[in-house]
Every structure is written in structure tokens, then in C-alpha cells.
Structure 1
Amino acid sequence: MSADAAAQGSKQPKQPKQTQGPEKSRKQGNPEPGGRLGLGRQFNLLWAGQSVSYIGDKVNIFVVPAVMILLLHASAFQVGLVAMAQYLAIPLLSLVAGMLVDRWDLRLTLVTCDLIRFTVILLVMVAYWMGHLSVPLLFFSVAIVNAASVFFNIGYTATIANVVPVEGRVAAYSNMETSRTASEVVGPAVASFLYQAMGIAALLVDAGSYLFSAGAIRSMRGYGERKKIEQTMWERLKAGVKLNWTDPVLRGTLIGTFIMNVGGPVYVTVMPILAYRGLHLSVGTYGIAMSAAAAAALAGALVAQRVSKLIGAARLMPMAVFAHSAVGLGILLAPTLPSALVVGTVLSFYGVTMVWYNVCTAAVRQVRIPVADQAAGVFVQMLTPGHGVLNACRITMACATLIGTFFAWPPEAGIQRMLNREKALAEAASAASPAAPVGSTA
């Protein structure tokens, strides 16, 4: 240190640390008096918008298949085609969207995505009322909405990192997950009520939820401005792909998830066809069955961490994917047993085991196979003339769920042993190189 600097330091008394008022502390996400963490106005606006939007999403997921089957009288192939559009954006856009959102203004991105979704859903209703709604139009509408959702979901995760301090992010994500799970429970019942009361106009709730979300985010103070990133998009893409494939644990998880999602979307796509046309369930009954299944999934989520700790996350993973696929065969019990009870029970266990699997593979993005959704409609349509719609749906769903039952879990079965071996090697290396004695000199 120079003499001038030392003299300067001696002349400047240390200033006392300024304390923040409670309002400023809450805005920055610091603990409020009493130990409760205030996440601030910025997060609360985002949370409010997303909570409403989650309900709208569930209305959309429930109403679109009902409109196709009950109003447009679409074929099984056409239902599968539109279901494909729901997943099309995920494999095509996820990697690129993540890199683009990093470069864009976050708040503007989220508002734009919400306004795109609002406009498209509104146009679907207008097209129906004017007599112009068709399967191709619905396909492109669903694809655009889900493409915007991919960008939005990546952007809102980055938004939380921008507006909530590190110590508050666990609480922030917990609040978001609570809202999402609550929407899973009440959403189908609300959607079935709205559809019975309003028909396709129930989609107004979905459109309105996007508009509300856009307004809430627009009310937030500016954050996440556009930034320049030196690394090219291609370099980042290659690094991400290399990481997922060269790491044996990530690779096993990725392969297992990939195989499971060959059959999973087929099963989910055919379910409303089976419910409405094969089992002749009413919209209200099907909505209640889905809500009961979501409530069971919520209960499963509450014990998922405990089960994971008891068994081991890597060991639970193949068990969960096997059970998830195997319980789907329970749908074959309908209509021998009461159809609504079978659908509700099967979807309940289907949801619980899916939650457990997701808890174990939270760091790995699920892969979707849109071609499989199209195949779902093809199989049902081909089998219907010879077997009837009920048996055609049952055969297709059984085949789809058997894919996961037999082929999805083996790539993940050895991951726990691999982790145990790595841990043992690390411990052996640590024991072989003891620390130097305290106070020793060279």
C-alpha cells in the first residue's frame, strides 16, 4: 500500500452500515421482521399473472379435445394430429429458444408471448363462430400457442433469477409450483363446468388469462434488458448436447425418458377419445376424474422427496418409469368395472408415478416425440372398423404403455450403481491423499 493511500485511509473514518427500511427490504426480497421472506412486488406481479394463466392453460388442454370430438366430430387421426401440435414446439424450439431468450429483453419477451397466445385463442373462437374452424387451422393455432409457451416458460424462469435474490428463489419456485399444482387439481373441473355452460366460448377464459398475465408483467419495473453474449449460439448448442451425451448418468436418463415419451403422448392423446366415444363419459364426469387424478398427483408430490430419500433417487427412477407405464394397462378394466372409477384411478396412479419420475429427473428436459401422437390417431382409425372405437382405443393405449413398461427403465437401471461406484472412487482418492499435519514446515 502506498503512503498516500495509507494516509487517505486513516483520514476517512469507517461509515456505519446503513440499514434498509422495511419497504425497501421487502422490495429487494430480504427477510421481513419476524423472519418471513418478502419476495417483493416484482415477483408478486409475475406470480399473480402465472397463477391465472395456469388455470387458463388447463381450460385449453381440456376444451380443445372436447371441441374436436364433440363439436367438430373429428376423426381419431385428426385428434392425434392436433395433439402432435401440442408437443411439436418442444423438441424443435427448446434449445434454440433458450439461447435466444438469453439475448432478448425478458419483460418484452414475456409480454409478447402472452399477447400472441391471447390473439391466437381469440381467433380460434371467431373462426368457429363464423363457420371457418377446421382441423388444419386448429393444428397451426395450437402449434403457435405452444411455440410461444416454450419461449415464455424459459423467459419466466430467467425472470425469477432477475427479480428475486438468491436466498428467496426456493420460496419463489415453491410458490409457482403451488399455483401450478393447484391449477392441476381445480382446472379440469372448472374447464368441464365452463364447457358445459359456454361451449367453445370457455376458451375466453384461456384468452383472458393470457391478457391478465401480460398486463401483470407489463406493470413490473424494467428488468432483464437485452444483452450481448460473446459465445455463438452454435457453440452453446454443441456444448449442451455434448454434456448430455458424454455424461453416462445424463445419457441414461435421456434415453429412458425418450423411450417413455414414445408411448406416453400416444396414451394421453387417445384418452379423451376413449372417454367420450368409447366409454361415453360426459364432459362433467371426465373433468371430475381428471381433477381426482390431479389431486392424487399432488399427494404424490408431497411424499416424493421422502420416497426418493428412502429409496435413492437414481434407484427410484427406473422403478417409477416402470410403474408409470404398467399402471396404464389398468384402463383395460373399463367398461367391465365402472368406467369413471377406472379412468380416475388409472390416471391417479399414472400421475403419482409421473411426479416421482420427474422429481428424480428434474435436471433433464423431457423429450417429446410428436410423430407418436400422429400415430395414435392412425392406429385408432385403422383398428376401429374391425374392433369398434372402444377396443381400438384400448389396444392402442395398451401397446403405447407397454413400450415404457419393457423398454424405458433398462437404460436407467444401472445409474444408482454408477453413482455408488463414483462415490467409492472419490472416497478412496480422498483417503489416499491425507492432508499435511498442522504446523508442518517445508
Structure 2
Amino acid sequence: MPGRTGLTAEGVGDAEGQRTGRRDFRWYWAGQSVSVVGDQVAAFVLPTIAITAFGASSLEVGVLNMLNTGAYSLLGLFVGVLMDRRRRRPVLVASDVVRGLAFGAVPLLTLSGDSHLGMLYAVAVVAGVCAVFFNVASQSHLPTLVGPGFLGTANARMEISNTLALVLGPALGGWLVQWWGGPTALAVNALSFCFSVAGILLIRTPEPPPDAKSRNSLWQDLREGVRVLWHHEVLRRTTLASAARNFGNTAVNTVLLLFAYRALGLSAGVAGILFASGTVAAVLGAWLTVPMRRRAGTGWALLGANAAAAVWVFAPLALVLPPLPTLLVMRVVSSFSLPLWNSTVVTLRQEAVPAGLLGRVSATAGTLNFSAIPFGALLGGLAAEGLSAALGTRDGLALTLTVSGLAAGSGTLALLRRTVRSLP
């Protein structure tokens, strides 16, 4: 692939450089592991403060979440162009510093008596924009840090941290809010970015300079990123499959609790077990990603991981079989396969795309994938409401999960081409 040799940073080609790169990655990984937990603390605490301190309505909470997560759809493509024009490491540091200051401002404004819902909206916007810069820069920077030989393992380890953060973050956020209050919880989150900055500043591997060729216009560079992604068959097919999976998975998550409570009559404690099982399975899947890729081959690993997303087509079985074991099996299968899919797709893109294009291509893929999420939530909710009205709650919610599972796994059809199946 055209980018395999061009992705190795200066000094990483020899054995000493590889050892340095892996040591640097451990610092980077450690800092990010703390930071992503902080991100999930903030994702829990921001709406909690809005509801408990400012009496926010459902619409206002929805707007808050949209402001925090919608920046990728609006800015992702442009950020990708910028990341291919400059060194990524300073952007990583600046993004963390600005996010830390934004979250740290909340307890200070609260102490001064100048806190209000608009303050949370502003923090959500700043944090969301900085997250776009950080995520695009991070995906573009990682190949220059570890080189292609360790890239798959590095992405799998990052996926482990992301998965654990989904559990630890809300739990820690809830504990902090209960005992110390929401503003203090955000202060803790602000401190988490210090660990991320420290991990980046401790990196010794020199970052290659950006491509020194003459600059095109912003629009020309943007179109080039879209063109490279679209004309690379494997990247195009995996990106479309990722968007379909995000759409379907979001629809499933929108409806699953409704199905558990209203159709099956499960208690909140049992539903918690269901969701916790998914997290355990996801961590195990992330840990086993590299061995599974080596054993099955990248192509077949992608096929299996994406086909597993369609397991929710069997949701109606929970109406006739013991509901908790039935849902547990589906949750475990779906969650186990997700980190294998995510880390493999990211690694493929990082290996296939030259360093000078990686920011734009990653941002193009990310924009498409993230944009599918709000549509999945909206259409999943609308489908559940419409089908429940037509068929009754039990059958309507079950059928919604079936259709959502079909959507999540529909990208498997795009992966059946030999160009994907034969990936080593």
C-alpha cells in the first residue's frame, strides 16, 4: 500500500528508534487513558449540572449534548486539512490546555456566583471543537510515533482505554457529584488534561515536518482528502460499513432500555447487568484484537466483526425465551466485536494513507461516521414510536431492534469483495 513505507517517523526505522517510539507511546497512552476517563466524567456531569442546578428541560439537555458532540459534522473536514499543513503535536497540547481551562472555568464561575445554563453551553462548544482538533491530530500523529509494525497493537490498546472509560467515567462522575458537587467534578476533569499534556510532552521521538510542497487552496485540499478516501476501495467500503454500523448501533442503544423495561419488564438492576456485560465483552475484544487479526487475517476479522453487529435481528427471541440470557448473548456478541472493528479500520487507514494526507482522510471518514450517530438516534426513536403504535409495545420495540440490527450489519455486504476478504 502506498503509505506503508512513508508512515515511519525519522529515527523509528532502526531498533533503537522502535524502542524509543514504544516508550513514547506508553507515556502517550497513559496520559490519554486518564484523559478519556475525564471526558466521560464530563459527558455525565455537564447534563447533570444542567438538570439539577439549572432545571434544564429535555430539549435544553438535548441541545447541550448536541453542542458537545456536533462539532465533528461541521468542522471535521476543515480540521483535517489544517492537520495536514502543520505539526500535530502542538495541536494536541493546545487542544488539551484549552479544554482544561474551559472545564476549570465552571467551578470558578460558580464560586463567583456567575454560573448559568449558557455557561454550560459555551463550555460544551469549546470542548466539542477542541475534541475534533485533538481526535483528528491524534489519529494522524500515532503512525509517526510507533511505526507500522506496532500500529495495530497501539490502536488496540487505545481502544481498551476508551472502552474502560465508558464505565469508569460515569461512575466516577456520579460519585464526585454526590459527594463534592458538579463543579468540583468538572475541576477534576480539568486536571485530567494535565496528564494528557504531560504524556505528550514526554515524547522524545521527533515529529516529521508537514509536507513542504506548495499549498493548494483549502477547498482543493479538502476535495483531495475526500477523493483519496473514495477511490481507495478498501477504505471506501470500510468507511461506509462504519457509518452503517454507527447508525444501527445508535438506534439499538436508543431503543434497548425501552425494550428491557417496557416490553420485557426487567428491573433497573438487571438492565445494569446487561449493559455492564457489554463493557466487559468490549474490553476483552479490544485485548484480543491483535491475536484475532493474526489468526483469521485482517479481511476475515473485518467481515466477522461487522457481521456480529447484526446480532440484534434476533431481539424478538427475548419475547419467547428467557429474556436476560437472550439479551446478554446479543449484547456480548455485539460489544465484543466493536473494538476489533474500530481498531482494525483505523489501523488500515493509517497504514494505507501517506502521512501528508492522513489528517484529511481521517477527518473525512470521521465526519461521515459521526454524522450517522444523531440520525440513528432520531430514526430509531421515531421507528420505535411508530411501530409500537401500530403493533403494540412489545412487538413494535422488538421489530425496531431487528431493523436496527440489519442496518448495523448491512455494511457486511460491502466487505464481501475479494479486495477486502484477502487482506492479510
TM-score (norm 1): 0.65
- Alpha-carbon shift at residue 296 of structure 1 (Å): 1.3
Q: Matched residues in 1 for 2:32 and 2:254: separation? A: 26
For residues 283-362 of structure 1, the aligned pairs below 5 Å read 290-304=275-289, 313-314=298-299, 317=302, 320-327=305-312, 330=315, 347-359=331-343, 361-362=345-346
- Alpha-carbon shift at residue 420 of structure 1 (Å): 8.1
CA contact (8 A) 2:156 2:343 kept: no
Q: Could you tell me which amino acid in structure 2 is paired with residue 205 of structure 1?
A: V
RMSD (CA atoms): 4.9
Q: Residues 96 and 240 from structure 1, CA distance in 2 versus in 1: closer, same or farther, beyond 3 angstroms?
A: same
> Structure 2: which 5+ residue stretches go unaligned?
1-10, 350-364
CA contact (8 A) 1:293 1:351 kept: yes
Alignment partner, residue 416 of structure 1: 416
Identity %: 26
Alignment partner, residue 249 of structure 2: 264
- Alpha-carbon shift at residue 192 of structure 1 (Å): 3.8
Q: Could you tell me which amino acid in structure 2 is paired with residue 236 of structure 1?
A: D
Q: Residues 413 and 251 from structure 1, CA distance in 2 versus in 1: closer, same or farther, beyond 3 angstroms?
A: same
Q: Residues 181 and 48 from structure 1, CA distance in 2 versus in 1: closer, same or farther, beyond 3 angstroms?
A: same
> Structure 1: which 5+ residue stretches go unaligned?
1-26, 424-442
DSSP 3-state at the match of 1:230? coil
Alignment partner, residue 102 of structure 1: 84
Task: Say yes or no: does 1:241 pair with 2:226.
Answer: yes
Structure number with larger C-alpha Rg: 1
Q: Residues 333 and 127 from structure 1, CA distance in 2 versus in 1: closer, same or farther, beyond 3 angstroms?
A: farther
Alignment partner, residue 375 of structure 2: 372
For residues 24-423 of structure 1, the aligned pairs below 5 Å read 37-39=19-21, 42-68=24-50, 74-126=56-108, 130=113, 132-134=115-117, 137-164=119-146, 173=155, 176-184=158-166, 186-200=168-182, 201-218=184-201, 223-224=206-207, 227=210, 228-232=212-216, 233-268=218-253, 281=268, 290-304=275-289, 313-314=298-299, 317=302, 320-327=305-312, 330=315, 347-359=331-343, 361-362=345-346, 363=348, 365=365, 367-368=369-370, 369=372, 371-372=374-375, 375=378, 379=382, 399=400, 401-413=401-413, 415-419=415-419
- Structure with greater proportional helix content: 2
Q: Matched residues in 2 for 1:71 and 1:79: separation? A: 12
Q: Matched residues in 2 for 1:44 and 1:313: separation? A: 25
Q: Matched residues in 1 for 2:411 and 2:380: separation? A: 29
CA contact (8 A) 2:42 2:186 kept: yes
Q: Which moved more, 1:301-310 or 1:103-112?
A: 301-310
DSSP 3-state at the match of 1:197? helix
CA contact (8 A) 1:122 1:207 kept: yes
DSSP 3-state at the match of 1:361? helix
- Alpha-carbon shift at residue 294 of structure 1 (Å): 1.9
CA contact (8 A) 1:59 1:187 kept: yes
Q: Could you tell me which amino acid in structure 2 is paired with residue 375 of structure 1?
A: L
Q: Matched residues in 1 for 2:374 and 2:128: separation? A: 16
CA contact (8 A) 1:318 1:412 kept: yes
Aligned length in residues: 383
Q: Which moved more, 1:79-88 or 1:171-180?
A: 171-180
Identify the structure with bigger relative contact order (alpha carbons < 8 Å, sequence gap 6+).
2
Please give the per-residue CA displacement for 1:320-342, whole angstroms capped at 9, x wherever unaligned: 445425438759969x9898x99
Q: Which moved more, 1:52-61 or 1:364-373?
A: 364-373
TM-score (norm 2): 0.67
CA contact (8 A) 1:30 1:38 kept: no
Please give the per-residue CA displacement for 1:396-427, whole angstroms capped at 9, x wherever unaligned: 7963x44442345445325334438999xxxx
Q: Could you tell me which amino acid in structure 2 is paired with residue 419 of structure 1?
A: T
